[in-house]
Amino acid sequence: MTRHHRTTPRLARILGSLLLVAAAGVLTSGAAPAPRPAAAGALDQVVPAPASVRPGGSPYRITERTGIRVDGSREVRRVGEYLAEVLRPSTGYRLPVTTHGGGIRLRIAEGPYGAEGYRLDSGPRGVTITAGAPAGLFHGVQTLRQLLPAAVERDSAQPGPWLVAGGTVEDSPRYAWRGAMLDVSRHFFGVDRVKRYIDQLALYKFNKLHLHLSDDQGWRIAVDSWPRLTTYGGSTQVGGGPGGFYTKADYREIVRHAASRHLEVVPEIDMPGHTNAALASYAELNCDGVAPPLYTGTAVGFSSLCVDKEVTYDFVDDVIRELAALTPGRYLHIGGDEAHSTPHEDYVRFMDRVQPVVAEYGKTVIGWHQLTGAHPAKGALAQYWGLDGTSPQEKEQVAAAARNGTGLILSPADRIYLDMKYDASTPLGLSWAGYVDVRRSYDWDPGAYLPGVPASAVRGVEAPLWSETLETSAHIEYMAFPRVAGVAELGWSPAAAHDWDAYRVRLAAQGPRWEALGIGYHRAPQVPWPAG
Ligand code: TNX
């Protein structure tokens, strides 16, 4: 891994000012600026691109006298503490979080911010982030991080100087749903690995973490009323390793950590297909009463819950009740994809019975887009994972549901499946949806993607990361970075900001940040990364 050269503080100060002068001369629209070393982040180098940026005025300099001022509320103070935790190790400053004084200020106020927007004002006297709610302050803090030099992300003292370019950012998201999905079933990822990914997603203003908690290869969440789901059904994974599962305490810890990063956890129990781990754990769930063996391969579409048996619905009720009780968020994902061994009429009957159970426990249904072939419940969301080559009939089925009120989350497999290989030389991942290079993952418009879908039906985007070939955090990061940043921009930035040539330059400036954070990203040749 490359590290930055250490410059003397004085030289760095001069270099920093020169860069700021250069940055101030760059307009936010028009021709892409030439790549330059990303020492200090300029106002126009943020990912995802803010809705509006007005560079100008002198920078603010964080010093040993800087404090972080918050208003009274606990949630605002938490955002302040989070910012302090980011800044303290690299700056070496105390950065007290207090309700008086100056420097960096986080304030809640009425204004045009919405649930997640913010305004950031930076000048010689300080930086103020204003928002209507703590989530907006948190997203503003992510912008502030990118306005500081990449070395701010290191976990040991760095020379600085810590300049924040002068100007104003006014920002709010295009979509309310900006998700990432992690498949913890095919290979199990423990609590610390999930937290690490959450922290990385927070950098780019994601607000949903969808966990794929069950599949043929493993059941990963404790259900007290059906204990063998985890003790047996969670005991292996793809390739035959030991697997694993989350206790309820583990899961609460993930939910708590995600909430501290303003992400909502969306749990998925996939059904009626993708259920071999459950069927192997309880013989009575099988139509023939015989439990199949555990499965450690990577085929799909061979398992189904028994739609005709009452015990199936007792099981589903128990699972949904216990999972809903663990879920402060609004949504519960019931899968519904690739139910190839469930006859269509059975699939429809099953979904007709199961969706009301989700509502009964106070949650809103999400299903993979095959749910639109049944009767999506009122208010349900469908997650589209088709590709360019998906048949017009299937696309129209989804579009008709959207016109009928079903909201859509877009996860096109040949665009933002992060488990697809970048190209033929990618050592990890799959390629059933083709190769997905960085440009392909970024260069499409969610608002105009599916024909016949009203723009208002599109709730946002979500990048799934299926884990058939992925076992470690390093694997997750190599596949997610840099593409996940592009998904963040599709979800957050206004359509008018979309421009591959400008984006690839902004993206390149993230490389040194990822190096500072220890994220082993793919140095895709389409991006002009600064020399490492
Ligand atoms: C399709 S996408 C699947 C998953 C696989 C994935 C691999 C979806 C809803 N089903 O079961 O893991 O492809 O890319």
246 token code pair:
């989350």
- Is residue 34's pLDDT more than 90? no
Give the pLDDT score at 443: 98
Report how far residue 265's alpha carbon sits from residue 255's, in angstroms, rounded to the nearest whole number: 6
CA of 299 to the centre of ligand 1 (A): 10
Band (pLDDT 50/70/90 cuts) for residue 13 is very low
Ligand 1: residue of 182, 337, 390, 431 to mutate (most ligand atoms within 8 A of CB) is 337
273: closest CA among 338, 188, 200, 182? 338
Q: Whose CA is nearest to atom 7 of ligand 1?
A: 466
CA of 79 to the centre of ligand 1 (A): 36
Report how far residue 184's alpha carbon sits from residue 250's, in angstroms, rounded to the nearest whole number: 13
337: closest CA among 245, 266, 269? 269
Ligand 1: residue of 428, 466, 467 to mutate (most ligand atoms within 8 A of CB) is 466
Q: To which CATH superfamily is domain 9-29+174-516 assigned?
A: Glycosidases (3.20.20.80)
- Is residue 114's pLDDT more than 70? yes
- Is residue 431's pLDDT more than 80? yes
Task: Name the fold adopted by 52-171.
Answer: Chitobiase; domain 2 (3.30.379)
Q: Whose CA is nearest to atom 12 of ligand 1?
A: 466
- Is residue 503's pLDDT more than 60? yes
Band (pLDDT 50/70/90 cuts) for residue 38 is very low
Give the pLDDT score at 308: 97
Give the pLDDT score at 41: 66
- Is residue 492's pLDDT more than 90? yes
Q: Does any ligand 1 atom lie closer than 6 A to the CB of residue 385?
A: yes
Q: Whose CA is nearest to atom 9 of ligand 1?
A: 337
91 token code pair:
């700056």
Q: What is the pLDDT of residues 183-238, one digit of tens each?
A: 999 999 999 999 999 999 999 999 999 999 999 999 999 999 999 999 999 999 99
CA of 412 to the centre of ligand 1 (A): 11
Q: Does any ligand 1 atom lie closer than 6 A to the CB of residue 419?
A: yes
388 token code pair:
């360019």
Query: Rounded mean pLDDT of the chain?
Result: 93
Sequence-distant (6+) residues with CB within 8 A of 431 are 420, 421
Give the pLDDT score at 42: 84
Q: Does any ligand 1 atom lie closer than 6 A to the CB of residue 368?
A: yes
3-state SS, 98-127, equals ECCCCEEEEEECCCCCCCCCEEEEEECCEE
351, 354, 359, 361 alpha-carbon torsion, rounded to 10°: -160
Atom of ligand 1 at shortest range from CA of 430: 14
Report how far residue 87's alpha carbon sits from residue 89's, in angstroms, rounded to the nearest whole number: 6
Tell me how many degrees the CA angle 110-114-117 measures, rounded to the nearest 5.
95
Pairing of strands 52-55, 167-171: antiparallel
Atom of ligand 1 at shortest range from CA of 468: 12
**Contact by Cβ (8 Å): 186, 471:** no
Atom of ligand 1 at shortest range from CA of 335: 9
Report how far residue 30's alpha carbon sits from residue 44's, in angstroms, rounded to the nearest whole number: 12
Band (pLDDT 50/70/90 cuts) for residue 101 is confident
- Residue 338 annotated as catalytic: yes
Q: Whose CA is nearest to atom 4 of ligand 1?
A: 466
Give the pLDDT score at 208: 99
Give the pLDDT score at 37: 36
- Rounded to an integer, the average pLDDT of 482-494 is 98
CA of 8 to the centre of ligand 1 (A): 51
Give the pLDDT score at 531: 87
Distances (CA, A) of 341 to 75, 227, 402: 48, 26, 26
**Contact by Cβ (8 Å): 334, 235:** no
- Is residue 61's pLDDT more than 80? yes
- Is residue 47's pLDDT more than 80? yes
426 token code pair:
């990618």
Q: Does any ligand 1 atom lie closer than 6 A to the CB of residue 466?
A: yes
221, 225, 229, 230 alpha-carbon torsion, rounded to 10°: 50
CA of 513 to the centre of ligand 1 (A): 31
- Is residue 23's pLDDT more than 50? no
Q: What is the pLDDT of residues 397-409, one digit of tens each?
A: 999 999 999 999 9
Q: What is the pLDDT of residues 146-181, one digit of tens each?
A: 999 999 999 999 998 999 999 999 999 999 999 999
Beta strands in 132-176 (DSSP E): 162-164, 167-171
Q: Does any ligand 1 atom lie closer than 6 A to the CB of residue 337?
A: yes
> What does DSSP assign to residue 454?
-
Ligand 1: residue of 210, 338, 366 to mutate (most ligand atoms within 8 A of CB) is 338
Give the pLDDT score at 300: 95
- Is residue 482's pLDDT more than 60? yes
Q: Which of 338, 345, 471, 515 is catalytic?
A: 338
Extents of the domains making up the chain: 9-29+174-516, 52-171
Q: Whose CA is nearest to atom 14 of ligand 1?
A: 466
Band (pLDDT 50/70/90 cuts) for residue 44 is confident
Length of the chain as a residue count: 532
> What does DSSP assign to residue 285?
G
How many percent of the chain have pLDDT more than 70?
A: 92
Considering only residues 402 and 14, tell me which one the structure prediction assigns the higher pLDDT.
402
Report how far residue 330's alpha carbon sits from residue 263's, in angstroms, rounded to the nearest whole number: 12
What DSSP element (H or E) covers 460? strand 458-465
Give the pLDDT score at 532: 67
Atom of ligand 1 at shortest range from CA of 417: 14
Q: Whose CA is nearest to atom 11 of ligand 1?
A: 300
Phi, psi for residue 444 in degrees, rounded to 5: -155, 160
Q: What is the pLDDT of residues 371-381, one digit of tens each?
A: 999 999 999 99
- Rounded to an integer, the average pLDDT of 282-310 is 97
**Contact by Cβ (8 Å): 135, 259:** no
- Is residue 387's pLDDT more than 80? yes
Give the pLDDT score at 40: 55
CA of 326 to the centre of ligand 1 (A): 25
Sequence-distant (6+) residues with CB within 8 A of 468 are 183, 186, 187, 238, 298, 419, 430
Q: Whose CA is nearest to atom 6 of ligand 1?
A: 466
Beta strands in 137-235 (DSSP E): 162-164, 167-171, 177-183, 208-212, 214-215, 218-219
Q: Whose CA is nearest to atom 10 of ligand 1?
A: 337
- Rounded to an integer, the average pLDDT of 253-267 is 98
Band (pLDDT 50/70/90 cuts) for residue 18 is very low
